[in-house]
Amino acid sequence: MNSTPLELVVASRNPRLLEGLRSLSALAQMRIVGEGQGAEDMVQLVGLHQPHALIVEDEPGLRESNLIEACRLCRTGLKVVLLEGPAEPGSPPSAIDAFVPKTSSLAALVGTIESLF
């Protein structure tokens, strides 16, 4: 990975999870450029900030394949990490690049994100 920080948009309705994700910048060359709680936030933030990756909590309304695809249309090459997993039946394999259980350490999440680049 190069010295330019990876820019991330995170989507979650869980304030404690968001707080934990904010510490990614202290652990690795990553910077959160946008935080959203809903589907509209997610697409708008990806379009506005053009991040390298989108970190999405596995919640109804946030992990929908059509929303992920809308985000990918806003940002070519966008990587998508789903916090929780596994993929729902019928979800297109290309919709999510990686699955990380919410119970994983931040170091494990960092490793997963870095492995995508």
Element (H, E) at 53: strand 53-57
What residue spans define the domains of the chain? 6-115
Q: What is the pLDDT of residue 92?
A: 46
- Among 97, 90, 41, 99, which Cα is nearest to 70's? 41
Global pTM? Answer: 0.86
List the CATH code of the domain at 6-115: 3.40.50.2300
Averages of pLDDT over runs of 10 residues in the chain (117 residues) are: 82 87 82 88 94 88 75 94 67 74 88 93
Separation of alpha carbons 94 and 80, rounded Å: 9
- The confidence score (pLDDT) of residue 91 equals 52
